[in-house]
């Protein structure tokens, strides 16, 4: 038995089986490359579900972690810390909003946004208690907590976890007309991903986000954009909604993942008239806004700006997407994406994307399937054209000679 096999067996023995990992054990990473325990180099085409936007072990992120960890790691929100000041200011200014409510993982920020929306509906809009409705999209993915799966329409996420939260209504993603018709006097918010990631890299029609923001404002409903996966340069823009222009700016933003570049950092960002419904004692997070996370998030925002990561994502993504579309394969149904958020949808007869991801791993490329028949390609934004060309050669070989 190899060391990799032994380690995978130990994971299977001691950890809950809520994931089905590809058969590789990594031990190091730098830039866009992993190294496994056998010393093999593997090109990362997932970036930790868009966590490692700026690459693995970016020297400035590493430096920020070491310096902050040697000075101050823990400071609860029951007092102030100097890093919290910088974090709040940097993120609020980055998003162009007034207030930040920090948390840890992305789904925690999503749950926080649910609470803010309902509280705003009762306190500001005057909806009768217990009647608040939130509109979400079919095929959404906001996480796997009780609130997130209650908002999902995917049966597998819900099965066995009932009773779920009530108060959600569903509309087709990309259809603003249905949204306008479904809003009632009890609607408090519309939650949407600018691009559905886990749902299959689904991209809405041009102008859709601008339209839904306009509809929400017309009906006094909060527009809430989940930019956890799409934010911080992933789609070729600082935030994905910016593709549709300033008119697409939502009332509430949910951010996370690459904001922490590997550390758990997330936040809800909104203006004062919304965030002021959150008063002392009604919500909290033990680690939310901890100094270590704050220091890393501030540096991540600086790196995004200094190294022009959004522009690089747009440039590298356009090249990667164009080259992928040139591949002539009987297995490919569609290639779609924006920036370095790309999905290769396979035909139903292809037998699912998992076997293609396993084949790519054997050729040194790590990527992951989503929605059974879609290969998701979301490499670190700092990936080079040389690395993309190296990957394209192997992707074409797998997709044409499988």
Residues assigned a catalytic role: 141, 226, 257
Count Cβ atoms within 10 A of the Cβ of residue 297 and give its class: 0-12 exposed, 13-18 middle, 19 or more buried: buried
Residue 346's φ and ψ, nearest 5 degrees, are -100, 155
Q: Please, are residues 148 and 111 in contact by the beta-carbon 8 Å criterion?
A: yes
Q: Please, are residues 142 and 148 in contact by the beta-carbon 8 Å criterion?
A: yes
Reference 239, options 301, 316, 318, 322; nearest CA is 301
Contacts of 323-331 with CB under 8 Å at 24 or more apart are 323/388, 323/392, 324/377, 324/392, 324/395, 327/395, 327/396, 327/399, 327/400, 328/400, 329/396, 329/399, 329/400, 331/356, 331/399, 331/402
Count Cβ atoms within 10 A of the Cβ of residue 256 and give its class: 0-12 exposed, 13-18 middle, 19 or more buried: buried
């Amino acid at each position: 038995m190899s060391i990799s096999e032994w380690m995978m067996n130990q994971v299977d023995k001691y950890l809950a089986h809520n994931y089905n990992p590809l058969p590789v054990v990594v031990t190091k990473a730098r830039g866009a490359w992993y190294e496994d325990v056998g010393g093999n180099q593997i090109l990362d085409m997932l970036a930790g579900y868009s966590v490692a936007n700026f690459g693995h072990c970016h020297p400035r992120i590493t430096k920020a972690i070491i310096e902050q960890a040697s000075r101050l790691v823990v400071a609860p929100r029951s007092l102030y810390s100097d890093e919290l000041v910088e974090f709040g200011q940097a993120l609020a200014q980055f998003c162009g909003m007034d207030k930040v409510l920090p948390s840890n993982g992305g789904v925690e920020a999503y749950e926080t946004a649910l609470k803010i929306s309902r509280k705003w509906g009762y306190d500001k809009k005057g909806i009768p208690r217990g009647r608040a409705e939130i509109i979400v999209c079919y095929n959404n993915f906001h996480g796997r907590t009780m609130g997130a799966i209650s908002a999902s329409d995917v049966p597998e996420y819900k099965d066995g976890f009932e009773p779920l939260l009530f108060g959600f209504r569903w509309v087709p993603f990309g259809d603003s007309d249905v949204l306008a018709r479904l809003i009632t006097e009890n609607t408090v918010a519309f939650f949407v991903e600018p691009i559905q990631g886990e749902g299959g890299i689904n991209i809405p029609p041009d102008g859709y986000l601008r339209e839904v923001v306009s509809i929400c404002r017309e009906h006094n409903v909060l527009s809430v954009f989940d930019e956890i996966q799409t934010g911080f340069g992933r789609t070729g823009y600082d935030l994905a909604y910016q593709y549709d222009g300033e008119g697409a700016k939502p009332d509430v933003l949910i951010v996370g993942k690459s904001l922490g570049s590997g550390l758990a950092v997330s936040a809800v960002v909104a203006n004062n008239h919304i965030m002021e419904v959150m008063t002392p004692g009604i919500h909290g997070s033990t680690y939310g806004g901890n100094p270590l996370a704050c220091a890393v998030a501030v540096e991540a925002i600086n790196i995004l700006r200094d190294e022009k990561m959004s522009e690089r994502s747009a440039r590298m993504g356009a090249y990667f997407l164009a080259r992928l579309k040139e591949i002539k394969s009987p297995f490919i149904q569609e290639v779609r994406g924006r920036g370095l958020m790309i999905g290769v949808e396979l035909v139903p007869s292809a037998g699912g994307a998992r076997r293609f991801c396993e084949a790519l791993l054997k050729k040194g490329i790590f990527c992951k399937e989503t929605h059974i028949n879609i290969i998701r390609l979301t490499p670190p934004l700092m990936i080079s054209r040389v690395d993309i060309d190296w990957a394209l050669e192997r992707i074409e070989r797998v997709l044409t000679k499988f």
